[in-house]
Amino acid sequence: MNFEIVTDSSANLPEEWIETYNIQVLSLCFYVDGEEYYGYEKGKKTDLSKFYKMMREKKEIRTSLVNTAKAFSLCEDLLRNGMDILYIGFSSGLSGSFQSVKVALDGLRDSYPERKIYCVDTLAAALGEGLLVKRAADLRKDGVKIDDVYQWILDNRLNVCHWFTVDDLFFLKRGGRISTATATLGTALNIKPVLHVDEEGHLVMAGKERGRKRALDALVRQLEEKSKNSLLQEVYISHGDCKEDAEYVMRKVKEKFDVKNSLIRILDPVIGAHSGPGTVALFFMGEKR
């Protein structure tokens, strides 16, 4: 292994993957009533259900980008130790974090001209981003060179499908995704939105369903329409402290497809802060987004 994979905490990776594959993680942070927390801290297993409990209590929550100075420090240490760097980052269409890290890495190029430094805007989020990081780590483990891993991600990033629904429209309203009137009417009529991340890495509304179960079933239908074949390499699900709903979706998927690798994870707080408790997000490789 002659290169390091660097990503950010929004990739929602399990700690065991981070350790097993030696992935470097830059943490985004969030604030609850002014107190600072980190989305990821090495070696710490945070009970994220407490974060979603605070959201349900309507506490004031703000999010922040990856700190450029911390990204610079981490990456300079790697370069100083003779390692090339492949940074796989959170969609620039959803956050300024990719640009923050890119600024840090661009500032290091002149000092380490002999080293390869690649930055990839995944145009993905949460376990969609995590799926690409995991694939990159597998390729590196198989001896694939950094140039080819970088190219693979560029060639395949728009095949990573993100489909999700939320349970409480308040959080989409607070983030400016929908109007107050839409949130009020939708809540009264039990309307649940179905959203996805488009090819520019933006969060967009794709449809709506009457009732929670129909919205969850709609995620599975999207997988049926967009999956490449009946054998799925990966199906990942993130949830906003609603594991039973995530398990329901995974069960439905496995009734219809052979799934080689599956994962259910509670959603990273920095992303969950914008979608809220009750979010269920489905990630897989498809023909297109």
The pLDDT of residue 41: 84
Q: Quick one: pLDDT at residue 71? A: 97
Angle 156-161-165 from CA coordinates, rounded to 5°: 160
pTM equals 0.94
CA distance readout (Å), 169 to 95, 174, 179, 185, 215: 21, 9, 10, 10, 13
**What is the spatial distance between Cα 35 and Cα 50, in angstroms, rounded to a whole number?**
14
User: Dmax of the chain from CA atoms?
Assistant: 61
What residue ranges define each of the domains in the chain, with the CATH number in brackets? 3-28+66-157 (3.40.50.10440), 159-285 (3.30.1180.10)
Contacts of 204 (CB under 8 A, 6+ apart): 195, 196, 197, 198
Q: Which structure tokens are listed for 202?
A: 């933006």
Confidence (pLDDT) at 132: 98
Which two structure tokens, joined as six digits, stand for 43?
């070696």
Strands ordered across the beta sheet of 35-38: 35-38, 29-32, 61-64
> How many Cβ atoms are within 10 Å of 239's Cβ, its own excluded?
23
Report how far residue 289's alpha carbon sits from residue 286's, in angstroms, rounded to the nearest whole number. 7
**Tens-digit pLDDT profile for the chain (289 aa)?**
689 999 999 999 999 999 999 999 999 998 988 888 888 888 777 788 889 999 999 888 888 999 999 999 999 999 999 999 999 999 999 999 999 999 999 999 999 999 999 999 999 999 999 999 999 999 999 999 999 999 999 999 999 999 999 998 887 777 666 677 777 777 777 889 999 999 999 988 899 999 999 999 999 999 999 986 766 789 999 999 999 999 999 999 999 999 999 999 999 998 898 889 999 999 999 988 8
**Given the structure tokens 């349900």, which residue do they identify?**
56
Predicted pLDDT at 228: 66
Q: Are 124 and 254 in contact (CB under 8 A)?
A: no
Predicted confidence at residue 40, as pLDDT, reads 85
